[in-house]
A and B are shown apart, each in its own frame.
Chain A
């Protein structure tokens, strides 16, 4: 079917601004497939069902809207944690700034190297989970990424990794337009933690495909950078085999526009998938979490826990779905999305969805939006805690349920410290 003219125009303009990697390597067929998916779907426009609440224009435009640099060196959030650091500057891997990618039980490669050597599993996975994630809801920016991304990290975990792999994204150019595509394969019995930190670019379009084999475990904690004007469209596509574990947590503070898609498929019995996020927005901030969890096996557990703190006109969006396919009995699905609105100007838009085709399941979802509890605030103040500090304490308490989804306490502490820093800066400015 031909695309409507506006979609076609947007797509053509964007494609004209990109070069298809002209490599002979093993990823070429996957890139060609992705390009045809993109041609079929077109780029997102506001009329698309899952873009009603978020304006995609600046994410799809040929030109990048410049984003000022924060101009302040922030301590890497995961400092103090022994990790393999892989640094990207405006979406380009910087080997000199990175650690030696040597980690027992794990092989780490660069996507651009994989493309020219034929690494079978990578070839067989590249674009595959992204393609699966295109239905029933199209995710054209992910297809665009598969077609055009030149850089990224390819990780194969065959055993228990003793250190996390940390992807650290620096933003140095006000007009950078970064595409990164990471591929992660976790074998049965293997256990891998991947961290991400930083704003990455003025505009960042990312795909991370994660395939967790039966009995494997994958943990992911990320902090999206503090640069106020940055924009990001990120996607995680995960597939879980039997008794596999997948847990992801995202902290977002600042950024004019963030769209985080997470698409998880539970394909083997007794899998566990947790998707969590906390965001704090102040002023020109639009944050969209779009999550799609599919249960296609028996006895799986999934959790979606999202908390948003919004003030001064900030906007939060949550679109979360649990799809329980026929035969996915004994599914335990949980979804909660809540916002704390610190003033009347801020806004939370939620679209929680349950679609269930099995009869023996326990699924629950809830979405709330509310102001700070005045009674609690007064109680704290009556004990001598100043209003600002009391508000922060209650705000952190509100976010706690999402942060508790992080298993590793050291990582949770890092996230908490950054949140406290964000609040302290605002209290000082007030």
Chain B
């Protein structure tokens, strides 16, 4: 599904290298986790894959189902099936959450040559997905993420994911700022989407989210490089020994 080869990324404005040769292959149907200390480049990886400005790819490639995505506009990547649940979801005053969801869904359908969803069908779909995430009508009416609590913002990300049904879902620290109940809701939302045709890249700082979303493979990112990959047990090892212990072990 997602294939990242020797990806080198630096800041566009400064000579600061952030990713130093990331290699990663996520197969359809799989859940991969990326763990790593703060500042190791996890968010940068997710941003570069989704096409945010400010980064320059100096080497390497990234493909989604064999298609090079690094030259695509962010909206083209989305239409191709990529989705990023932001670590810090953005507030957009004045744009209603519902309008936002409908505009996004229809834009993607249009890009794929499909018809727009009818207002009735859309409403039904939103209500159903929102209910599962305990997102009430008021949150749907409010401007995108404005005045939402940290947990509400994260649930809103999962709602978007559920509505857009992407093939490749990247979740950047979706667990941060969530209490146990909210984390369960989010994990249930993600698990409900698990499917043979869909893959997940779950970025997290802590192991606890992975108790709820069971990964197939765990990677450790440090200083812009994947220094170790392994099974779910690797997450426990990090939990017990910390990143420093692991770095020492690899070095």
**A82 CA / B139 CA spacing, docked (Å):** 35
Q: Of residues 195 to 228 in A, which have CB atoms within 8 Å of B's CB atoms?
A: none
On whether A381 and B95 interact (CB within 8 A), knowing A374-B53, A393-B103, the answer reads no
Q: Is A386 an interface residue (CB 8 A)?
A: yes
* A42 CB to nearest chain B CB (Å): 44
**A378 CA / B54 CA spacing, docked (Å):** 11
Inter-chain contacts of B65 with A (CB < 8 A)? none
Q: Is A422 an interface residue (CB 8 A)?
A: no
CB <8 Å contact, B73 and A381: yes
CB <8 Å contact, B86 and A386: no
Q: Is B215 an interface residue (CB 8 A)?
A: no
CB <8 Å contact, A385 and B75: yes
* B107 CB to nearest chain A CB (Å): 5
CB <8 Å contact, B94 and A386: no
Among A230-238, A298-306, A395-403, the one that faces the other chain is A395-403
CB <8 Å contact, B92 and A376: yes
Q: Is A120 an interface residue (CB 8 A)?
A: no
Q: Is B125 an interface residue (CB 8 A)?
A: no
Contact of B73 among A379, A383, A387, A394 (CB under 8 A): A387
CB <8 Å contact, A382 and B92: no
Q: Of residues 105 to 159 in B, which have CB atoms within 8 Å of A's CB atoms?
A: 105, 107-108, 111, 143-144
**A376 CA / B77 CA spacing, docked (Å):** 17
CB <8 Å contact, A378 and B103: no
CB <8 Å contact, B73 and A380: no
- Residue interface bits B91-105, CB-to-A below 8 A is 1, else 0: 111110001100111
Contact of A401 among B74, B83, B84, B94 (CB under 8 A): B94
Main secondary structure of the interface of A (DSSP, over half): helix
* B239 CB to nearest chain A CB (Å): 31
Q: Is B235 an interface residue (CB 8 A)?
A: no
Q: Is A389 an interface residue (CB 8 A)?
A: yes
**A393 CA / B100 CA spacing, docked (Å):** 9
A residues contacting the other copy or chain, number (CB 8 A): 23
Contact of A386 among B90, B91, B107 (CB under 8 A): B107
Inter-chain contacts of B78 with A (CB < 8 A)? 381-384
**A397 CA / B164 CA spacing, docked (Å):** 23
Which B residue's beta carbon lies closest to that of A395? B94
**A380 CA / B111 CA spacing, docked (Å):** 15
**A386 CA / B79 CA spacing, docked (Å):** 10
Which A residue's beta carbon lies closest to that of B95? A397
B residues contacting the other copy or chain, number (CB 8 A): 32
* A340 CB to nearest chain B CB (Å): 11
Q: A376, A381, A384 — which one has the most chain B CB atoms within 10 A of its CB?
A: A384
**A397 CA / B111 CA spacing, docked (Å):** 24
- Residue interface bits B49-84, CB-to-A below 8 A is 1, else 0: 011110000000000000000000111011100011
Inter-chain contacts of A381 with B (CB < 8 A)? 51, 73-75, 78
CB <8 Å contact, B100 and A380: yes
Q: Is B177 an interface residue (CB 8 A)?
A: no
Inter-chain contacts of B160 with A (CB < 8 A)? 383
Q: Is A72 an interface residue (CB 8 A)?
A: no
Inter-chain contacts of B164 with A (CB < 8 A)? 383-384
CB <8 Å contact, B52 and A389: no
Q: Is B232 an interface residue (CB 8 A)?
A: no
Inter-chain contacts of B90 with A (CB < 8 A)? 375-376, 378-379
CB <8 Å contact, B107 and A400: no
CB <8 Å contact, A380 and B92: yes
Q: Is B37 an interface residue (CB 8 A)?
A: no
Q: Is B89 an interface residue (CB 8 A)?
A: yes
**A90 CA / B217 CA spacing, docked (Å):** 74
CB <8 Å contact, B107 and A389: yes
* A89 CB to nearest chain B CB (Å): 38
On whether A400 and B100 interact (CB within 8 A), knowing A381-B75, A382-B78, A386-B75, the answer reads no
**A378 CA / B52 CA spacing, docked (Å):** 7
Which A residue's beta carbon lies closest to that of B52? A378
Contact of B95 among A386, A394, A401 (CB under 8 A): A394
Inter-chain contacts of B74 with A (CB < 8 A)? 378, 381-382
**A165 CA / B78 CA spacing, docked (Å):** 48
* A403 CB to nearest chain B CB (Å): 10
Which B residue's beta carbon lies closest to that of A397? B94
Which A residue's beta carbon lies closest to that of B101? A383
Inter-chain contacts of A373 with B (CB < 8 A)? 92
* A284 CB to nearest chain B CB (Å): 28
**A401 CA / B93 CA spacing, docked (Å):** 10
CB <8 Å contact, A384 and B104: yes
* B228 CB to nearest chain A CB (Å): 30
CB <8 Å contact, A400 and B75: no
Which B residue's beta carbon lies closest to that of A396? B94
CB <8 Å contact, B94 and A382: no
Inter-chain contacts of A379 with B (CB < 8 A)? 86, 89-90, 92, 144
CB <8 Å contact, B93 and A397: yes
Q: A373, A379, A381, A396 — which one has the most chain B CB atoms within 10 A of its CB?
A: A379
**A382 CA / B79 CA spacing, docked (Å):** 9
On whether A397 and B92 interact (CB within 8 A), knowing A380-B104, A386-B107, the answer reads yes
CB <8 Å contact, A382 and B103: no
Inter-chain contacts of A397 with B (CB < 8 A)? 92-95, 143
Contact of A384 among B79, B89, B92 (CB under 8 A): B79
* B171 CB to nearest chain A CB (Å): 13
6 A-B residue contacts at CB 8 Å?
A384-B104, A384-B108, A385-B103, A385-B104, A386-B73, A397-B92
- 10 closest Cβ pairs, A-B complex: A397-B94, A384-B78, A383-B104, A384-B108, A379-B90, A381-B74, A400-B94, A376-B92, A384-B107, A397-B95
A: residues with CB less than 8 A from B are 373-376, 378-387, 389-390, 393-394, 396-398, 400-401
With contacts A376-B90, A378-B53, A385-B103 known, what are 16 further pairs, Cβ within 8 A? A375-B90, A381-B51, A381-B74, A381-B75, A382-B74, A382-B75, A383-B107, A383-B108, A385-B104, A390-B75, A396-B94, A397-B93, A397-B95, A397-B143, A400-B94, A401-B94
